[in-house]
Chains A and B, each alone.
Chain A
């Protein structure tokens, strides 16, 4: 069907077509640009914000280096230092590393995939604004001496209300929890974008490697982040309401936090590294003028990394006294994960060998990355050796290792990416001359700062110490590290100078393909992406088809204008990228911005215990979301011709719809969260079986049976409601009644369960078992609230004539959420009522 040599559309194009396309996609002017939702605009804002947080956290690092430069220094107080190292790690990991990768994905993916935009532009805008506002508030706690000081991994009991009574820990828990929600929103956007909005014919094995890494990155977020979200929920509930999840005296366990945190925290490292590796896999072929060697091997390596990374979290816990068998298993898994990295390193070297490397700034940063990352990987293998880790763990050796892996593995590729892709988004490229200075300063500075730390660690210096006595003789090495840190900072300062001097972000007439690269983002781009969208038949279309740029500008390929008068993009099938329907996209609007600000306000006000104000903001935020969602699921229009007589529908429901895919991903997030909960429940039982009740103290079995029946009844009722969806008419009594009944059944099941537990005398504060039982209800309650809100929304839309048998994406998604909630509820009943009977 698709063929690169054919031209779907004929010339000349209607004269007003291009002007119309430009008008539809034009960004609002002046300060109203904040209402824009286009991926290029949001992507640039997003990247700039992430760089801002990189600089802020970098300044914190310099303060720490000043404090440690000499022994017994009094430059920073103990408490200031403890807050600063906590914030440095937290901001770098949560406010820089993950967001900047997501930002680059939002900026680059549509261009690279030949889409006009991502499938949920407003969700992307929401994720960005939530991150910006939440991040700035979180960072500013430092200026009020309210910042958390429990370290970036926040181990309880140090972070419990007993040992950290101030609001610092709450800022961390609510602030980071909130920013993770933003990261998940971005991940959903990226998964659906990569799978459903590729150019026609761009099969998965022709997809640019960066898109592969972003897909795996987003997939890993879906499975990893829920574990830490659950952990933050548990700890916040313990702090606020004394539910003893981590308090040993009442059957909790401090190690539960470590398991949950590192189940997130280790994949997190690869979440950060994989997209950076993807960037390298884009840059190396361009700089060598040759295709990537071992494309398929690399894809397998990436998937293997994603997979392994979930099986080695315990290597952060080798010193907690766990048994030898577990130690050996996780040691093996930790070593195995070195294999996929080895494949990638040698594949890049092979690519370099098969072409001729040009000495550009991006090339230098890539070479720097290869050296630094290799050394970091080797020290990683060292700390995977359990006996060595017993010594190196929590020392400066590990500080050196993690910076080699993260700065080498992620920051150097990112700088390569900045220099490489700047011409695609700016009128001027960044300076090659300055770029080389910047590289050498950063490379030398980094190694001078961090290499000596391997030695300071072996000489016995633990991490997170605000000072050390002169007798330890760590002073010379620390002074060298401090000097290196400032060299590195000088390089970054010079980079800032270069950006200010040269970076002129532009939507069109950019510097363009100065490297002779081969992928679609190097075609002449505008805010709407490509003028017309080509059928893709190779992984390097620009090399195989030199006239492509011209033809695309002329409008000879698919969708050369806007057919419906709205922003549009083509939705394609996930594997072969066969065009499926034309997706109409929303334009600028205030709702994502307001909704994000209000959600941020809700979380932050909750932290300072301004409950009433927080609730008002929360409700207003929900109202904003309703306004926003009201405009989704547009009315079906007749099919349209996008060129070559290719007729595409303008509407899709069921599993064809991009919204259905997003809902499935969201449910995977919910499912991971719940599985983390099930793990936590069972884990605490293994630690403290004595607080689990005897059979006689359990709730009579009749209660959970009634709850379960109600849940099943609810699911059936909702399916009947699907049958009676109105045809074209407005509202239908039967539909409203059945949908309402289903929502009531779900709520009823939960209320009965909580009532039965309460009546049996179980209290969440009494012990870990009680806390876990009410936690199940808490998680179920969250979903029940969402179901109630969506049911009300669906009913309102049916009255407004916006929901019928065909136009039913809202109902489809309600159905998915509903049935998932029923499934989770049944599993919860089985666990909470069945497990103690089985174990007792």
Chain B
């Protein structure tokens, strides 16, 4: 199995760039069955590419400055045929067979065993996530995808408006999300962790900010989480929390957002049922804190320019704080 470090040392050092590489969202830091396989392909290609480039450079140098006998050999038309046709034809055939083999192994559905299936919908400019628990309700979430480690996960990918592309480099290749179609991606994550991804097909406006996290957890943790997530958050226990809920409902948040167990059932924006348990606000642009929630509600166009949520500048500071506290309280009861 190939890990990231040697790659970066090799290329990084060769470029005198040591220390400036990053594994946050890296193809060469693979953490799934599929990504590992692709990283192996990449290594093979880099090796082969370097070899061919060196071959071209050496031949060129010999052609310019080499001894007469070698230059005469290089100048022959048969050399052109050997180096320009035969050698690449053989190499490319080998590559092709290798590529086709890996491609098929990625596209074929795993045999037997139940796979986890999660639906992800690309929207301008966030990710709608739907879990289909074996028995029970559909659970909606946004910008955060939880998956179990070690078992095959099938992501069903759709688009609500324009084309997006689902890409978490450490977990595998990207797959486009196209209106009117359902595409899919198979992943088998091999260790727990948080893997960042972002939209890879330009989708207008703040495309650059359309990021997400995939959180891989052990199968038992995942099962427990799924059960919690199916629940409805408890009614706020504090006055300020109750105040926040009334503001949430009165300000019209429910026209776009859903909080299960309340009158808020909007489907336009992200489901907020368990937002208090998520890691970030404004699709990964800010960590989830009370201040950042308040900032996003009144000043969202600065945090994430172009996003489709209007700024609620009419809210008074106390109202805003109550609202933020209410949202933070939205977690599954343990």
> Which residues of A approach B to under 8 Å, CB–CB?
77-79, 82, 149-151, 155, 157-158, 163-164, 248-249, 253-255, 293-294, 297, 319-321, 323-324, 327-328, 331-332, 335-336, 338-339, 342-347, 349-354, 357, 367, 370-371, 374-375, 378-379, 381-382, 384-395, 451-452, 455, 458-460, 462-469, 471-474, 476-477, 480
Contact = CB atoms under 8 A, between A and B. Distances in A.
Contacts of A344: 84
Given A149-B204, A331-B96, A345-B56, A353 B77 contact: no
A394 B92 contact: no
Contacts of B181: 248, 255, 321
Contacts of A465: 207-208
Contacts of B100: 324, 328, 331, 386
Which among B22, B95, B207 has the highest number of chain A CB atoms within 10 Å?
B22
Contacts of B184: 321
Contacts of B196: 460
Contacts of A378: 49, 52-53
A354 B45 contact: no
Given A335-B92, A350-B80, A472-B25, A387 B45 contact: no
A253 B103 CA distance: 25
A391 B169 contact: yes
B212 interface: no
A324 B27 contact: no
A660 to B, nearest CB: 39
Contacts of A374: 52-53, 56
Given A347-B84, A352-B63, A459 B204 contact: no
B27 A462 contact: no
Contacts of B45: 381-382, 385, 388
Contact of B71 (A353, A385, A480): A353
A354 B72 CA distance: 6
Interface in B124-147: 124
A390 B59 contact: no
B235 interface: no
A473 B22 CA distance: 6
Contacts of B173: 319, 387, 389-391, 393
Interface in B186-221: 196, 198-209
Given A254-B179, A254-B180, A342 B200 contact: no
Given A248-B180, A346-B79, A390-B172, A335 B95 contact: yes
Given A391-B27, A462-B167, A386 B60 contact: no
Nearest to B184: A321
A360 to B, nearest CB: 13
A370 B56 contact: yes
B24 A473 contact: yes
Interface stretch (B158-166, B250-258, B262-270, B324-332): B158-166
Contact of A387 (B38, B74, B180, B285): B38
A354 B162 CA distance: 56
Contacts of B176: 319-321
Contact of A349 (B38, B74, B285): B74
A465 B201 CA distance: 10
Nearest to B49: A378
A477 B88 CA distance: 32
Nearest to B102: A387
Interface string B81-93: 1011101110010
Given A248-B180, A350-B76, A385 B99 contact: yes
B17 interface: yes
A293 B75 contact: yes
Given A320-B178, A324-B107, A472-B22, A354 B75 contact: yes
B174 A459 contact: no
B85 A351 contact: no
A589 B63 CA distance: 52
Nearest to A155: B163
A394 B200 contact: yes
B64 A459 contact: no
A328 B99 CA distance: 8
Nearest to A389: B173
A248 B173 CA distance: 25
B200 A393 contact: yes
Contact of B183 (A321, A349, A379, A468): A321
Given A155-B162, A293-B76, A390-B38, 4 more contacts: A344-B84, A390-B175, A455-B17, A460-B27
B208 A477 contact: no
B41 A388 contact: yes
Contacts of A381: 45, 49, 92, 95
B104 interface: yes
